[in-house]
């Protein structure tokens, strides 16, 4: 039975239910060797076939999980289907929470709601996101536990109920990146496949919501030209300024850095790393100043590559995969041993070669990516390279 969260609005009384049964197959063919300290699961999420609007490109809830379990030197396929239960929209893996839950008949569900992709608080097991609700004129800053249990909900004024918005976390602020794609009551009334439409007259804004302070804080908004849809890589405080690193999708993907001065409203933009298709940082320094950016490059002429960029020295280490290959977003799997520093761990990513009909999961030493993969797992099925991915350290199922 779902457990109610006391003291919250019924729309956000999100409760936890146990994950459904999972099935793991036998060991997969493996070239090389998996590191002894690598123990976890590379996971992707896709919309559950029974979810409303499942044929669209947006990750909708409920959803299903799939990936590869790496443990004790072996690799096994992993599949899990969390219950089709709208009382648990963020779990069991907050990093793979759906972008939107459509309204349905469940009386205890949260109704139509859009979630920014949750971010984890460095050094803690808490996750942060922002939920928006059509017609209410406000959003909520939600803090959840590692299994998606809502621990705290804080409302603040926010109009339009956008979808595709993003959040980042610094020591002092929740950074909210607004989106011009908002809920349209007219589209909903005519039965459009998606009730969200782009409104060109809506400015792209960044909101700075204090994480602590007396009373109910409201975000301060700054108009910032962030380009097209983006994925936040990291953010941190630098004195009185805020630094935001994010992938822009206007034309060729680029990783850019915005330095925001809340007092003056001045925003400076720079390239944060050489051209990459997707990028991550070591999650242990999330919300803090980071040194290393780990990314992938997909070039039509030269093929794919995995890279590590050192922001202090400017050095770039590259592991080319060769022509014909394409790689998905990497995940960083941290080395959990005592004394591990930023960048100590492994990069895990899916590689696909259409001409050969081959799909691999590749594991790189994040400190020395130029040495090539430590292990190549030969997959019997194709894992898409355009899905949202994460690394789950705890065993699932």
Tell me the pLDDT tens digit for each residue of 310-340: 999 999 999 999 899 999 999 999 998 877 8
Which residues fall within 8 angstroms of residue 150, CB to CB, at 6 or more apart? 5, 8, 12, 13, 14, 90, 142, 143, 144
For residues 26 and 109, is the Cβ–Cβ distance under 8 A? no
For residues 247 and 130, is the Cβ–Cβ distance under 8 A? no
186-190, 195-199, 212-216, 343-347, range with the lowest pLDDT: 212-216
For residues 267 and 275, is the Cβ–Cβ distance under 8 A? no
Coil, strand or helix at 232:
strand
How far is residue 298 CA from its own chain's centroid? Answer: 20
The pLDDT of residue 102 is above 80: no
129-138, 225-234, 347-356, range with the lowest pLDDT: 225-234
The 389-392 sheet, strands edge to edge: 22-24, 74-80, 63-71, 40-47, 389-392
**Tokens representing 386?**
């355009």
Residue with tokens 């849809």: 229
94-103, 165-174, 283-292, range with the lowest pLDDT: 94-103
Which residues fall within 8 angstroms of residue 395, CB to CB, at 6 or more apart? 40, 41, 69, 71
Query: Once rounded to an integer, what is the mean pLDDT over residues 255-268?
Result: 87
Other C-beta atoms within 10 Å of 365: how many? 20
Closest C-alpha to 118, from 126, 106, 107, 110:
126
Mean pLDDT (the chain) is 81
Instruction: Name the helix (H) or strand (E) containing 22.
Output: strand 22-24
Closest C-alpha to 330, from 263, 384, 280:
280
Q: What percent of the chain has pLDDT over 70?
A: 80
Residue with tokens 């406000």: 138
Q: How confident is the model at residue 396 (pLDDT cuts 50, 70, 90)?
A: low
Instruction: Name the helix (H) or strand (E) containing 189.
Output: helix 185-189
**Tokens representing 259?**
């330095």
Is the peptide bond prior to 385 cis by the omega test (within 30 degrees of 0)?
no
**Tokens representing 333?**
């799997």
Q: How confident is the model at residue 198 (pLDDT cuts 50, 70, 90)?
A: confident
Q: What percent of the chain has pLDDT over 90?
A: 42
For position 82, what pLDDT does the model report?
A: 65
The pLDDT of residue 227 is above 50: yes
The pLDDT of residue 22 is above 50: no
For position 160, what pLDDT does the model report?
A: 79
Query: Once rounded to an integer, what is the mean pLDDT over residues 292-302?
Result: 89
For position 17, what pLDDT does the model report?
A: 29
Q: How confident is the model at residue 173 (pLDDT cuts 50, 70, 90)?
A: very high
134-143, 282-291, 302-311, 322-331, range with the lowest pLDDT: 134-143
Query: Once rounded to an integer, what is the mean pLDDT over residues 82-110?
Result: 66
How far is residue 393 CA from its own chain's centroid? Answer: 16
The pLDDT of residue 306 is above 90: yes
**CA–CA distance from 103 to each of 46, 53, 74, 108 (Å)?**
18, 11, 41, 11
């Amino acid at each position: 039975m779902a457990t109610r969260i006391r003291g919250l609005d019924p729309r956000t009384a999100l409760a936890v239910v146990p994950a459904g049964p999972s099935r793991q197959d036998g060991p997969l063919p493996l070239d090389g060797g998996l590191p002894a300290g690598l123990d976890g699961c590379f996971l992707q999420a896709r919309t559950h076939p029974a979810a409303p609007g499942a044929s669209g490109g947006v990750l909708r809830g409920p959803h299903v999980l799939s990936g590869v379990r790496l443990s004790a030197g072996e690799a096994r396929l992993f599949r899990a289907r969390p219950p089709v239960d709208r009382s648990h929209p963020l779990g069991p893996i907050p990093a793979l929470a759906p972008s939107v839950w459509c309204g349905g008949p469940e009386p205890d569900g949260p109704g139509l709601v859009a979630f920014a992709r949750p971010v984890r608080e460095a050094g803690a097991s808490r996750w942060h996101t922002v939920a928006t609700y059509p017609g209410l004129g406000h959003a909520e800053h939600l803090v959840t536990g590692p299994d998606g249990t809502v621990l705290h909900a804080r409302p603040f004024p926010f109009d339009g109920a956008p979808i595709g918005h993003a959040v980042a976390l610094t020591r002092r602020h929740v950074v909210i990146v607004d989106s011009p794609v908002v809920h349209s009551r007219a589209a909903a009334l005519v039965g459009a496949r998606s009730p969200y439409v782009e409104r060109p007259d809506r400015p792209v804004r960044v909101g700075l919501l204090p994480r602590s302070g007396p009373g109910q804080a409201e975000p301060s908004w700054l108009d910032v030209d962030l380009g097209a849809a983006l994925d936040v890589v990291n953010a941190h405080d630098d004195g009185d300024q805020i630094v935001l690193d994010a992938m822009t999708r206007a034309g060729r993907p680029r990783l850019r850095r915005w330095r925001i001065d809340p007092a003056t409203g001045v925003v400076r933009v720079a390239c944060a790393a050489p051209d990459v298709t997707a990028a991550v940082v070591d999650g242990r320094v999330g919300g803090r100043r980071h040194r290393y950016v780990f990314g992938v490059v997909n070039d039509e002429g030269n093929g794919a590559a995995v890279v590590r960029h050192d922001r202090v020295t400017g050095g770039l280490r590259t592991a080319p995969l060769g022509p014909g290959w394409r790689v998905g977003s990497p995940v960083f799997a941290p080395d959990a041993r005592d004394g591990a520093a930023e960048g100590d761990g492994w990069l895990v990513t899916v590689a696909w070669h259409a001409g050969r009909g081959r799909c691999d999961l590749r594991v790189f030493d994040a400190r020395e990516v130029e040495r090539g993969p430590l292990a190549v797992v030969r997959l019997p099925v194709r894992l898409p390279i355009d899905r949202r991915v994460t690394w789950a350290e705890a065993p699932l199922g």
